[in-house]
Amino acid sequence: MPQEPGPEAERRPKKRILFLFSDTGGGHRSAFQAIQDAMQMRYGESVEFDAVDVIREFKWPLNKQPELYPRVVNTSKFLWALMYHSFDGKRRARWARHLIYRNNRRRLRRLVSEHPADAVVCTHSVIANPAYRAFLTLPERPPFLTVVTDLVTTPSFWYDPRVDHCFVPTESAYRRGLRLGMAPSQMQITGLPVNPHFIKSMTSKAEARRAFGFDPQLPAVLLVSGGEGMGKIHRTVRALDAQPLGAQLLVICGRNDDLRAKLESRDWNNAHRLFGFVSNHHEMPRLMAASDIIVTKAGPSTISEAAIAGLPMIISDRIPGQETGNVRLVTENGAGVYLPKPEKVAERIIEWLREGPEKLQERAANARRIARPEAVWDIADAVWEWANKPKFARTRIY
């Protein structure tokens, strides 16, 4: 649990943490920010931070991945699945990592020399091995730690037996690491780090509904489209609002102004509220607290947050490959269902609402059982411990 920095924090030697990530999907940034915020709350001025989007430092065309990734996964899932499975294997991943390093080694070596650190935390699978190899060229290197941000079906890129420590979110991720050559002592099952501000901002259903001015009696269905407002949310809203739900619909449109304009202009049959981009730290936890059901894609961060909030989930979309296992995690634990067709989503929500609050509470309890709210503190404390260890002397030239 969080602790306020005490007087001893002033006497600690200041440690510098370097986060390596990339904005190919929101989960890599949110993971490092969660750890950073937890460390800031725990250790105060004894720790300072640096962060680099490593893929943007690569040569063309890899440096364009932050812009290309959302387009590919939202418009051509077949192409993404083909690329994912083409490189998902021990030998194939090793070959790809070697090629990435060889083509970008000068840039990577410059990067590590320009960003000194007492510990390095990597939250992106593709950059982990190339960045680690660049650190090996220093006269002495800081501990190199990886935080796996995929829940169940974890890409082979995550697992490099030479890194110093690897935080994994689930037992399935741990077992896959063993199969790919990781030592048991090298990995630690923690759960996915959820920002401590999210957890701190959780409140009761009644209080959250009061704060937003929602109807205190009507069940609430939260529809999340992601930061960019992508996916089938417009069709899902249409299918839901065609029915007399006896519920209020809370729709997060993200940055998709066109989606919000379309929804604002329709003739609604049910009580509703529309939101643009909402803060993950403050607004999102209160919206989840106010809700009874969430409709979302199978993103690991949203699933982890919804589990902490005790929200039954309807997974309406997934990215092939790394999000496939997330669906299993939710469905096999009774925390929700996977329904990719908007009409089926509407049918299931009507069914759940008709079953009454007791069944919803049962599903909410199932969701809470897969929650790991302490993950961010376990990781933050472990990173601090590694940052206080001696650096490693170079043993060979790369």
Peptide bond connecting 312 to the previous residue in cis, omega within 30 degrees of 0: no
Helix-, strand-, coil-residue percentages of the chain, each rounded to 5: 50, 15, 35
**Do 152 and 272 have their domain in common?**
no
What average pLDDT does the segment 51-71 reach?
88
Quick check: 145 pLDDT over 70? yes
Angle at the Cα of 387 from the Cα atoms of 384 and 388, rounded to 5 degrees: 95
The structure tokens 């066109």 sit at 258
**Do 164 and 283 have their domain in common?**
no
**Do 379 and 362 have their domain in common?**
no
**Do 175 and 201 have their domain in common?**
no
pLDDT of residue 394: 84
| Interacting residues of 376 by C-beta distance below 8 A, sequence separation 6+ | 34, 35, 38, 193, 194, 195, 196, 199
Number of domains in the chain: 2
**Do 291 and 214 have their domain in common?**
yes
pLDDT tens profile 328-378: 999 999 999 999 999 999 999 999 999 999 999 999 999 999 999 999 999
What average pLDDT does the segment 253-265 reach?
89
Residue 350 lies in a domain: yes
Q: How far apart are CA 323 and CA 190, in angstroms?
A: 19
pLDDT of residue 111: 97
CATH of the domain at 241: 3.40.50.2000
Integer Rg of the chain from CA = 22
Q: pTM higher than 0.85, yes or no?
A: yes
Q: How far is residue 247 CA from its own chain's centroid?
A: 29
pLDDT of residue 89: 85
What average pLDDT does the segment 260-279 reach?
91
Q: Which domain holds residue 340?
A: 197-369
What average pLDDT does the segment 192-212 reach?
95
pLDDT tens profile 300-309: 999 999 999 9
pLDDT of residue 227: 46
**Do 212 and 263 have their domain in common?**
yes
pLDDT of residue 228: 45
**Do 67 and 166 have their domain in common?**
yes
Residue 207 lies in a domain: yes
Quick check: 7 pLDDT over 80? no
Kindly state the helix (H) or strand (E) to which residue 297 belongs, with its residue range.
strand 293-297
pLDDT of residue 232: 77
| Nearest alpha-carbon partner for 192 in 84, 47, 73, 35 | 35
Average pLDDT, the chain: 91
Would you call 278 exposed, middle or buried from its count of C-beta atoms within 10 A (0-12, 13-18, 19+)? Answer: middle
What order of strands is seen across the sheet that includes strand 165-168?
47-53, 15-21, 119-122, 144-147, 165-168, 187-189
Quick check: 8 pLDDT over 70? no
**Do 215 and 151 have their domain in common?**
no
**Do 340 and 245 have their domain in common?**
yes
Tokens of 247: 């519920």
Report the range of poorest mean pLDDT among 72-86, 98-112, 271-285, 375-389: 72-86
Residue 153 lies in a domain: yes
Residue 1 lies in a domain: no
Quick check: 231 pLDDT over 90? no
**Do 187 and 56 have their domain in common?**
yes
Instruction: Express as a percent the part of the chain with pLDDT over 90.
Output: 77
**384 or 89, greater pLDDT:** 384
**Do 155 and 258 have their domain in common?**
no
Please report which confidence band the pLDDT of residue 2 belongs to, taking 50, 70 and 90 as the band edges.
Answer: low
